[in-house]
């Protein structure tokens, strides 16, 4: 995932308004266990393209997961 992260981060610098890039970065950050960064990228993907159902589902799932994580603390 580290190499993929570098590639997507470069892509994001070149096209910061690309919702798919934010969604893909969020997936990778989630895989690395950085839920807050993942949430941020999912939210940005949805903001940029509210019709992106994949990003919306991913954001919803991550918000529920993070809510459960907060309750466990």
Report pTM. Answer: 0.87
Please identify which residue in the block is written with the tokens 């159902």. 53
Task: Give residue 15's pLDDT band: very low, low, confident or very high (50, 70, 90).
Answer: very high
49/2 Cα distance (integer angstroms)? 26
Mean pLDDT of the chain: 91
> What would the DSSP string read from start to end of 1-68?
-HHHHHHHHHHHHH-TT-HHHHHHHHHHHHHTT-HHHHHHHHHHHHHH-TT-HHHHHHHHHHHHHHHH
Task: Give residue 68's pLDDT band: very low, low, confident or very high (50, 70, 90).
Answer: low
Task: Give residue 24's pLDDT band: very low, low, confident or very high (50, 70, 90).
Answer: very high
């Amino acid at each position: 995932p580290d190499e993929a992260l570098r590639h997507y981060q470069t892509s994001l610098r070149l096209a910061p308004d690309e919702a798919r890039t934010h969604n893909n970065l969020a997936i990778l950050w989630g895989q690395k266990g950085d839920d807050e960064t993942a949430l941020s990228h999912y939210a940005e993907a949805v903001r940029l393209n509210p019709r992106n159902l994949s990003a919306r589902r991913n954001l919803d799932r991550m918000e529920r997961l993070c809510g459960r994580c907060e309750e466990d603390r």
